[in-house]
Amino acid sequence: MIEIICNDRLGKKVRVKCNLDDTVADLKLLIAAQTGTKPEKIVLKKWYNTFKDHITLEDYEIHDGMSLELYYS
């Protein structure tokens, strides 16, 4: 299990525990459960890379303690 930190830079910082073989869509569901936001409204980015829902966290080389940017569409 790894822990990922998602920050929306508006005062909301979420720590989520997930597995490396989870997809980005699974991660969005976990974030939505903690924030109360609909998962289809969540956009995850790192710098200029927008993460696509069907790709696993391991394929994106997301590791334990990594911080992602949380946006709302």
Identify the bridge partners of residue 71 per DSSP, sorted by sequence position.
43
Contacts of 37 (CB under 8 A, 6+ apart): 31, 72
pLDDT value for 21: 94
CB proximity list for 70: less than 8 A, separation 6 or greater: 6, 7, 8, 12, 14, 31, 42, 43, 44
Q: What is the pLDDT of residues 12-30, one digit of tens each?
A: 999 999 999 999 999 999 9
Kindly indicate the confidence band of residue 53, based on its pLDDT and cuts at 50, 70 and 90: very high
CA distance 14 to 55: 21
User: Mind listing the domains of the chain with CATH numbers?
Assistant: 2-72 (3.10.20.90)
The mean of the pLDDT values for the chain is: 94
